[in-house]
Amino acid sequence: MREDELVIRADGFDLMSNRAHGSEEEMASLARLVRPDARVLIGGLGMGYTLRAVLDILPPGGKVTVAELSEAVLRWNREILGPLADRPLEDPRAEVVIGDIGDVMQNSPGEWDAILLDVDNGPRAFTMPANERLYGLQGLNIARMALRQPGTLVVWSAFEDAEFLRRIGRAGMMARVARVPAHKDHGVDHVIFLGYWG
């Protein structure tokens, strides 16, 4: 680890780093935000890079809600991590809800133009077993029902998962996968699963 590197870990595994966040930022560009009042739901605050990328392309009348389980992660973003992504929490279009992204989706049918999930290292519930419900057919159906039409589900992953891609299709969305570098222009490829609704 370098002196200028910051890492968030869970159970001894690196989840994210300030040195490799290009693919998290790419999630925003894949979300297809077309409405002037676009509403975006992000699962997981991380180091704020995905939120910043969404805010940078969000129309002035749009709004972003981040569902974050950890109050510590929120506190870190308000303090030491804030400058990394140019303090996205200070943007009036952004709000953070401390809670489970699955509950937020279930309680907001037809509300979101895009849902971006970056809560694990992929669709295998790496950080919390309870996240498994996000990636099963029932969870994907909940995500689809939470989207407006047209809407996009965007799921970040460190690895390929052909079965998950098929499951997105079975949930009634047009499914595809994008491979993007961890860094802006180089590095190991990460995988972004996409589900288009409407």
pTM of the model: 0.86
DSSP string for 103-158: HHHHT-TT-EEEEEE-SSSSTTT-S-GGGHHHHSHHHHHHHHHHEEEEEEEEEEES
Lowest mean pLDDT among 2-6, 102-106, 178-182, 194-198: 2-6
Range of the domain at 147: 21-197
Question: Count of domains in the chain?
Answer: 1
pLDDT exceeding 90 applies to what percent of the chain? 69
Identify the band that residue 129 occupies on the pLDDT scale cut at 50, 70 and 90: low
* DSSP state, residue 11: T
Identify the band that residue 14 occupies on the pLDDT scale cut at 50, 70 and 90: very low
Contact 124, 135 (CB under 8 A): yes
Domain assignment present for 5 = no
Domain assignment present for 1 = no
pLDDT at residue number 2: 44
Identify the band that residue 122 occupies on the pLDDT scale cut at 50, 70 and 90: confident
Domain assignment present for 109 = yes
pLDDT at residue number 123: 84
Domain assignment present for 8 = no
Provide CB contacts within 8 A for 47, sequence distance 6+: 6, 8, 16, 18, 21, 77, 81, 84, 85
Domain with residue 105: its CATH number is 3.40.50.150
Domain assignment present for 15 = no
Domain assignment present for 13 = no
